[in-house]
Every structure is written in structure tokens, then in C-alpha cells.
């Protein structure tokens, strides 16, 4: 129940007052406070401070208001038309798609005009939302399917952008600064452009306000009143995507403003769609203004931080708070599994032989010798066995972590990458790198394990109240993954000389693997395989529900915590080796179930073999595709995993035959 003291108007007023106070504080450093009004509106400023205020800070303030309002408006429209309170441009992949398109165009053209960048962003955003909606159509636009598709598109497009930055770091630094959501302005051109486009697009969307209010109930009610839900959905999605892409192309990626503004408006008492649209737009404007005010005030102490990074961090935290504060979900029953045929012993033998063959090919492949004929086979083996052993260990660890994660969350589409655990491990590794360097392999290992454990702990705290329902668990992972992406983008945009190393690590390179790293990784892998059978009873009983577990003498909270800590340790270690995104933790258990494995332990061990084969193959392909140059193994695995993830979603939502 909403407190009578908290109203949308009061929240907007408080946020606006704080934001304007921060702006006034930042401006007072250039012009005395008493002269601010005159300096802001003086058409012919004299001093440098007055020029800076007039042509930089004033348009920056206006751009923050316009961009925040537009993103919140579009986010509310997305949530209404898709009947998903957690949909917005960033969770649907629109922003990542627009950023990737602009990055590609920046590499192919010497200089980009604002119009060309806008057209590229529009094309990328429309392509992303087209893919997401096309995949979700078969599931009737189910919220879970939309979130999964949007997450995969965002991760895949973001991964591609980072790959381009890895190979063209110096050329794309300005693009990454823009992509991080920098609101720095030099004139009023963006203010004018945003205002004109909002004046055209927002009234167009307002024409659909009554049909949208009706379609928010259900499709059958809309049809009974003469509406075409699919036609309405496509038209509104197109216009809202154009509005979002225009903002992205002008100011960069500003994530979670639409999500936060709409949900805050709802929690503050805006119950109807019309009220949410109004107050979410106002709150989005003040929220982005507040974030930018914080950036301006902190600039003298820590340098210019892109505003989009601040909104991504605060928006991710707000998402976690919303999920934690949401009412508890009903107890979730264990999902019914599809019948599987028993796997023949020959199938398991063939799988083992395939992994051994992959190891042999990866170690003894003669691709290099076609170019370097004098190379000795012993030297070739000495250089390759550490990376092959490291790749296999990472694949096994991610597969084990994925199997445990899916069992604990009762969600066959969960994975360490999708749940943000890899992102949390990445944050821990980055922190360890900047604080202690990479002199010892134990430093990033400890950092990665701690980061993974913290992120898993956050997910447990947030999702426990919702009975580990898939949507809250996945959204918690999206929030944590967004934090990791924001930090990496911030490092790249900062120009820090260590940024190239961080970028290379995020792509999962194995060519730096040394003998000591391979031995440590394999030792952890063998230990994990050795203790996995000890979790057999927990893995069989915990997914059946807390009531069943308690009746069998198992404390579900304790079992779940230990299993998640086990998965977090494996994820943190593997992330140090192959980067924060590979989808192996999703693919390996899913493939194991598809070939007929039944029982959690059989699935666990089969997944381990499949994970090893996937990572070894990815490492080998990355070495030969563009020889003598190398594509990191994590990149190959991610590009295989993204489409596989989408195919798995579609296959799960395939309508049953009658």
C-alpha cells in the first residue's frame, strides 16, 4: 500500500530541486551564484565562464531533460504494449543494437555527421527490436521470452562492439565515450534536434493512448472491441523504437531511465496508464538531470564520468531494489521435464572420444606449420598444451556451474553468464587488477571468486522473496551484468593505458595461458569434479521445492547457499580465463539434456565433457580462422552461444502439435 505522503508530484519536485541545486553548485564554479540567471540567458556572453555556461551547461541541462523524458516515455509505452513492467529500450536490446550499428559505421567512414549517426542508430535499434519481437511472437510475447531474447541480443551486440574496440581501440575511443552516454554539449544543435523529433513522435504515440490502455488488459478484450493487437503492437513498437534510437544516436546509451522512471511512478501511486505516462516522463527528466548533476559536481575531484555510466549503475541498483521490494510470488512448483530416452553407452563413449579428438586436434594441428615450416613439434606442443588444458578446464567449470545454477533456480535457461555471475566475477577481477596487478595469478583468481560470490549473494537476496521465479532471477542478472558493462565502458572511455588489457581479457583470450595457470585451473577442475558427487542428493531434492526438501530432512536455504557458492567459485575461476561471456554454462547442460541425459548427476558430468569440447573447439577455431591473427576463444564461444540461446528459446516455446 502506498504511503499518502509519497506522491508522484512530490517525488518529482524533490528530485528536481536536488538536481537543480547540483547544477547551480557546478555553475557557481564558473560564474558567481548571483549572476547565474543573467549569464545563462545572456545572448552575448563576455567571459569564458559565461560562454561555458551559455553554450555548454545550459544545452546540457536541456538535453538531460529532453532525453530523460523521451526514454521514460518510450519505456512506459514498451511496458504497456508488451504487458511487461520490466521492458524498456536497454532490456529489449535497442540501445546495444544502435550502438553496434554506429560503431560499424564509424569504422567505415572517415567522419560521421549527426544525421548519419542517427540513421545508423535507427537501423540498429529497429533491427534489434525486430529480432526480439519476431522470436517472442511464437510465445505470444510472453514476458519471460522477451527478457531472454532482449538479454541475448544486448549481450551479443555488446560483445561485437567490444571486439571492434579491441582491434580498433584508438579509432573507437571517441565512440566509446559517446556510447557511455556523455551529455557534454557545445551548442544547442542536439537540443533542437531532440525537441523537434519529440514534438513529432510523442504526439503520434499519444494517438494510441486509448487503444494501448485497452490492449494492456488482454488480447481477447482488445479484439472484442475491434482492435488488432498484432497490428497495434507493431505500429507502436516501431514509433517507440524510433524515439529511443533517436535519443541514443544523439546522447549515447542511457540505460534503465525508462525502467526506473516508470516503476517509480507506479510505486508512487500512478495507477492508470495515462498517469504513468505523464509522471514517468517527468520523473525520467528529473532522474537524468539528477545523475548529470552528480557527474558535474564530482568532475573536479575524479574527472568527467559519462552520465550514462552513472545512470546504468544507479538504474541497475534501482532494479534490484524494485525486485526486492516487489510482493512475494506464490511458491513455484518444480518444472515438468520432457520425457527423455535413455542414453546408450555408445553415445557416452562417442562423446568422450569426441572430446579427446578435439584435444588432439587443438594440440597437434599443423596449421601453423604451413606458414612456419621450421617450427619444431616439441616447441609447438610446449606452447599449446597450457592453452588447451586451460580451455578445457574453463569449459568444464562453466558447464558445472551452469548445471548447478539451472538446478537451484529451477530454470533450464539460466546460466552464469545470463545471471550476471560472470559479470560480477569480471568486476572482481578488474578490481584485483587495478588494486594488485597481475603479478600473481592468485590475485585475479581471488578477485573473480569474490565478485562471483557477491553477485550470486545479491541474486539470492533479491530472488528469495519471489521464490526464485525465473523473471526476477534473470533481471537481477541483467542488472549485475549492466554494472559490469558500465565499468568496462568507463575504463575504455577514460583512456587508461590498461584499458586495452581489460578489453582483451573480456573477450576470453587463451593465448596468454601459462603452465602455472593451466595447472591451477586443472587442479580446481579436478577438485570440483571430485566433490560434485557429494551434492547429488541436494541437486535431486532442492529443485522439487522447499516443502519437499524439508520433509526429507534437508535445509533448503543452507543447501542452496552451498551450491551457489560452489557455482560462484567455478564461475569466478573460469571468468578469469575466458572472460565474462561465453554461454558455455548455458549450452553444455542444455545439450546434455537434448541428447537424453536424465538425472542431475549424469547431466552434470555429461555437461562437463561437452563444456570441455566446446571451449577446446572455440580455442582451435579462433586460432585458425584468421591465422596468423587470433580471435579470442571467448568471442567464438559467445557467437556460437548467442544464436544457440535464441534457438533454445524458440524450441522451448514451439507450439505443441495436435
Secondary structure of 59-101 as H, E, C letters: HHHHHHHHHHHHHHHHHHHHHHHCCCCCCCCCCCCHHHHHHHH
pLDDT > 70: what percent of the chain?
Answer: 69
Closest to 233 in 3D by CA, of 249, 218, 253, 243:
218
Mean pLDDT computed over 144-173 = 71
What is the chain's length?
658
Mean pLDDT computed over 10-39 = 83
Query: In whole angstroms, what is the distance from residue 401 CA to residue 570 CA?
Result: 6
Mean pLDDT computed over 175-189 = 78
Q: What is the pLDDT of residue 342?
A: 47
Kindly report the CATH number that applies to the domain delimited by 376-649: 1.10.3470.10
Closest to 486 in 3D by CA, of 655, 254, 644:
254
Whether the predicted pLDDT of 199 surpasses 90: yes
**Domains 8-322 and 376-649 belong to one CATH topology:** yes
CA–CA distance from 207 to each of 9, 210, 273 (Å)? 25, 8, 14
Whether the predicted pLDDT of 69 surpasses 90: yes
Q: By the 8 A CB rule, do 441 and 517 touch?
A: yes
Query: In whole angstroms, what is the distance from residue 632 CA to residue 484 CA?
Result: 19
Out of 112-116, 413-417, 530-534, pick the least confident: 413-417
Higher pLDDT, 562 or 438: 562
Higher pLDDT, 221 or 561: 561
Residues 6+ apart with CB under 8 A from 202: 70, 73, 243
Whether the predicted pLDDT of 502 surpasses 60: yes
Confidence of residue 100 (pLDDT cuts 50, 70, 90): confident
- Position of cell 495515462? 274
Q: What is the pLDDT of residue 438?
A: 59
Confidence of residue 67 (pLDDT cuts 50, 70, 90): very high
Where helices occur in 252-272 by DSSP H, the ranges are 257-267
Q: Taking the mean position of all CA atoms in its chain, how far away is CA 439?
A: 30
Residue-wise pLDDT tens digits, 7-19: 888 888 888 899 8
Residue-wise pLDDT tens digits, 444-456: 777 777 887 788 7
Higher pLDDT, 2 or 282: 282
Query: In whole angstroms, what is the distance from residue 430 CA to residue 422 CA?
Result: 12
Tell me if residue 421 falls in helix, strand or coil. Answer: helix
Q: What is the pLDDT of residue 172?
A: 66
At 242, list the grid cell: 524510433
Query: In whole angstroms, what is the distance from residue 623 CA to residue 233 CA?
Result: 45
Mean pLDDT computed over 201-210 = 88
Domain definitions of the chain by residue range: 8-322, 376-649
At 386, list the grid cell: 597450457
Per CATH, the homologous superfamily of domain 8-322 is: ABC transporter involved in vitamin B12 uptake, BtuC (1.10.3470.10)
Torsion-angle region of residue 187: left (phi > 0), alpha (psi -120 to 50) or beta? beta
* pTM of the predicted structure, to 2 decimals: 0.73
Amino acid at each position: 500500500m502506498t504511503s499518502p505522503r509519497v506522491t508522484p508530484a512530490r517525488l518529482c519536485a524533490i528530485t528536481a530541486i536536488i538536481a537543480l541545486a547540483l547544477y547551480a553548485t557546478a555553475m557557481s564554479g564558473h560564474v558567481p551564484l548571483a549572476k547565474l540567471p543573467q549569464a545563462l540567458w545572456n545572448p552575448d556572453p563576455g567571459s569564458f565562464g559565461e560562454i561555458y555556461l551559455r553554450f555548454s551547461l545550459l544545452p546540457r541541462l536541456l538535453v538531460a531533460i529532453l532525453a530523460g523524458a523521451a526514454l521514460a516515455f518510450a519505456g512506459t509505452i514498451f511496458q504497456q504494449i508488451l504487458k511487461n513492467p520490466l521492458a524498456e529500450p536497454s532490456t529489449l536490446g535497442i540501445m546495444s543494437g544502435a550502438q553496434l550499428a554506429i560503431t560499424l559505421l564509424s569504422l567505415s567512414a572517415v567522419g560521421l555527421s549527426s544525421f548519419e549517426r542517427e540513421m545508423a542508430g535507427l537501423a540498429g535499434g529497429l533491427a534489434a527490436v525486430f529480432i526480439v519481437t519476431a522470436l517472442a511472437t511464437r510465445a505470444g510475447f510472453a514476458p519471460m521470452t522477451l527478457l531472454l531474447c532482449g538479454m541475448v541480443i544486448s549481450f551479443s551486440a555488446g560483445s561485437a562492439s567490444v571486439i571492434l574496440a579491441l582491434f580498433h581501440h584508438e579509432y573507437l575511443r571517441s565512440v566509446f565515450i559517446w556510447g557511455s552516454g556523455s551529455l557534454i554539449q557545445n551548442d544547442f544543435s542536439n537540443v533542437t534536434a531532440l525537441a523537434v523529433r519529440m514534438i513529432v513522435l510523442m504526439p503520434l504515440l499519444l494517438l494510441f493512448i486509448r487503444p494501448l490502455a485497452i490492449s494492456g488488459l488482454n488480447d481477447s478484450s482488445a479484439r472484442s472491441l475491434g482492435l488488432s493487437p498484432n497490428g497495434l503492437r507493431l505500429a507502436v513498437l516501431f514509433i517507440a523504437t524510433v524515439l529511443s534510437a533517436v535519443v541514443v544516436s544523439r546522447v549515447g546509451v542511457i540505460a534503465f531511465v525508462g525502467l526506473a522512471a516508470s516503476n517509480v511512478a507506479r510505486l508512487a501511486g500512478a495507477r492508470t496508464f495515462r498517469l504513468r505516462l505523464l509522471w514517468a516522463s517527468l520523473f525520467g527528466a528529473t532522474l537524468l538531470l539528477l545523475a548529470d548533476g552528480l557527474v558535474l559536481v564530482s568532475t573536479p575531484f575524479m574527472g568527467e564520468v559519462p552520465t550514462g555510466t552513472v545512470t546504468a549503475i544507479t538504474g541497475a541498483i534501482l532494479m534490484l531494489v524494485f525486485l526486492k521490494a516487489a510482493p512475494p510470488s506464490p511458491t513455484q512448483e518444480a518444472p515438468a521435464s520432457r520425457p527423455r530416452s535413455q542414453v546408450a553407452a555408445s553415445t557416452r563413449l562417442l562423446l568422450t572420444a569426441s572430446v579427446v579428438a578435439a584435444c588432439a586436434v587443438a594440440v597437434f594441428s599443423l596449421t601453423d606449420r604451413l606458414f612456419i615450416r621450421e617450427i619444431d613439434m616439441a616447441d609447438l606442443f610446449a606452447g599449446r598444451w597450457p592453452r588447451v588444458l586451460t580451455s578445457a578446464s574453463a569449459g568444464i567449470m562453466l558447464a558445472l556451474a551452469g548445471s548447478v545454477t539451472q538446478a537451484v533456480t529451477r530454470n533450464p535457461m539460466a546460466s552464469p553468464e545470463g545471471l550476471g555471475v560472470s559479470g560480477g566475477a569480471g568486476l572482481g577481477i578488474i578490481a584485483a587488477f587495478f588494486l594488485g596487478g597481475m603479478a600473481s595469478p592468485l590475485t585475479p583468481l581471488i578477485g573473480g571468486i569474490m565478485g562471483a560470490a557477491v553477485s550470486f549473494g545479491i541474486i539470492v537476496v533479491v530472488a528469495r522473496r519471489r521464490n526464485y521465479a525465473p523473471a526476477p532471477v534473470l533481471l537481477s542478472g541483467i542488472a549485475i551484468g549492466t554494472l559490469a558493462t558500465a565499468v568496462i565502458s568507463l575504463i575504455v572511455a577514460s583512456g587508461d593505458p590498461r584499458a586495452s588489457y581489460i578489453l582483451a581479457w573480456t573477450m576470453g583470450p587463451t593465448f596468454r595461458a601459462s603452465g602455472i595457470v593451466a595447472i591451477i585451473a586443472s587442479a580446481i577442475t579436478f577438485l570440483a569434479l571430485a566433490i560434485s558427487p557429494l551434492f547429488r542428493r541436494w541437486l535431486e531434492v532442492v529443485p522439487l521445492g522447499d516443502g519437499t526438501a524439508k520433509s526429507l530432512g534437508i535445509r533448503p536455504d543452507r543447501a542452496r547457499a552451498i551450491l551457489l557458492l560452489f557455482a560462484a567459485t567455478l564461475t569466478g575461476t573460469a571468468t578469469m580465463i575466458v572472460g565474462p561471456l561465453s554461454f558455455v554454462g548455458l549450452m553444455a547442460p542444455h545439450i546434455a539434456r537434448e541428447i537424453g541425459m536424465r538425472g542431475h548427476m549424469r547431466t552434470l558430468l555429461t555437461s562437463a565433457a561437452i563444456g570441455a569440447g566446446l571451449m577446446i573447439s572455440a580455442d582451435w577455431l579462433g586460432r585458425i580462422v584468421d591465422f596468423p591473427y587470433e580471435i579470442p576463444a571467448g568471442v567464438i564461444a559467445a557467437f556460437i552461444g548467442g544464436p544457440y540461446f535464441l534457438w533454445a528459446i524458440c524450441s522451448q516455446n514451439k507450439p505443441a502439435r495436435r
